Amino acid sequence: MARKTSLVSLKEISEINMTPLMDLTFILLITFMITFPLIEEGIPINLPQGRAEDMDEPRSRSISIDGQRRLYLDEVPVGRAELAAEMAQLGAEEPDTTVYLRADRELPYGAVTEVLTLLRRNGVSRTALVLKGREAGE
């Protein structure tokens, strides 16, 4: 009895199927596009409202003060002494870096000025207060 299939006609598939790889890449791209804007918000702070021009600084750091007066440097909790040391280093090494200050609207004025004074004492001269945008006509 003879074989119905020839051993010669069976070939190895030596190509990689690109379709599943492209699908995976597309899914990852969409996932990052959706999650990146959510990551930017970070620490929930009730910002005051106001109008200001958008700033686009290539080198910047972010300081946040929440309603309980806890300090965050780039979303990492820090104490006042640690913040002062970081800002002194920043002021000495990168004086052109802009520091964005996000403070809860319910904080007393003095709590915000304490941080601004700390920045100024440690050589940071470029600061910006972050506000929640107002709707047109308000």
**What order do you get walking across the sheet with 127-129 strand by strand?**
76-78, 71-73, 60-65, 98-103, 127-129
What was the pLDDT predicted at 25?
A: 93
What was the pLDDT predicted at 128?
A: 86
Which pair of tokens denotes residue 94? 């990168």
**Whether domain 49-133 has CATH 3.30.420.270:** yes
The reported pTM is 0.58
Angle between the N-to-C axes of helices 80-93 and 109-121, in degrees from 0 to 180, rounded to the nearest 10? 40
Taking every pair of Cα atoms in the chain, the longest distance, rounded to a whole number of angstroms, is 98
What was the pLDDT predicted at 105?
A: 84
Which pair of tokens denotes residue 64? 């946040």
What single-letter amino acid sits at 25? T
The DSSP call for residue 86 is H
Q: What is the pLDDT along the chain (138 residues), one digit of tens a residue?
A: 566 665 555 566 677 788 888 999 999 999 888 877 666 556 666 666 666 555 555 688 889 998 888 999 988 899 999 999 998 998 888 888 889 998 888 888 888 899 999 999 988 888 888 877 655 444
Domain positions in the chain: 49-133
